[in-house]
Amino acid sequence: MAQGIWTLKVADESLGDAGRLLSWCLEITAAQGTDVAVLLSGLEAEPRTEGVQLRWRLDGSAEVAGLRVLRSVDDAPPLLLTRSPLEPVDGPMAYLDPAADLRAGSRLRYLLQGEDVDGRAFDLGEISLRYEAPRRAAFALEQNHPNPFNPSTTIVYRLESGGPVRLRIFDAAGRLVRTLVEGDQAAGEHRVQWQGLDQAGRGVAAGAYYYRLESGGRSLVRRMVLLK
Per-residue model confidence (pLDDT) at position 68: 94
**Between 39 and 189, the higher pLDDT residue:** 189
Residues of the chain with CATH 2.60.40.10: 35-130
Residues of the chain with CATH 2.60.40.4070: 140-226
Query: Which range (55-59, 73-77, 97-101, 173-177) has the least confidence?
Result: 97-101
Q: Work out the burial of residue 1: count CB atoms within 10 Å of its CB; fewer than 13 is exposed, 13-18 middle, 19 or more buried.
A: middle
Please tell me the CATH code under which domain 35-130 is placed: 2.60.40.10
| pTM, entire model | 0.48
Per-residue model confidence (pLDDT) at position 89: 87
Is the pLDDT at 61 greater than 90? The verdict is: no
Is the pLDDT at 194 greater than 50? The verdict is: yes
Topology adopted by domain 140-226: Immunoglobulin-like (2.60.40)
**Residues 50-66, mean pLDDT to the nearest whole number:** 86
**Cα(33)–Cα(117) distance, rounded to whole angstroms?**
12
**Residues 12-39, mean pLDDT to the nearest whole number:** 47
Query: Which range (19-23, 54-58, 107-111) has the least confidence?
Result: 19-23
Confidence at 116, pLDDT banded by 50, 70, 90 = confident
> 100: phi > 0 → left, psi -120 to 50 → alpha, else beta; which?
alpha
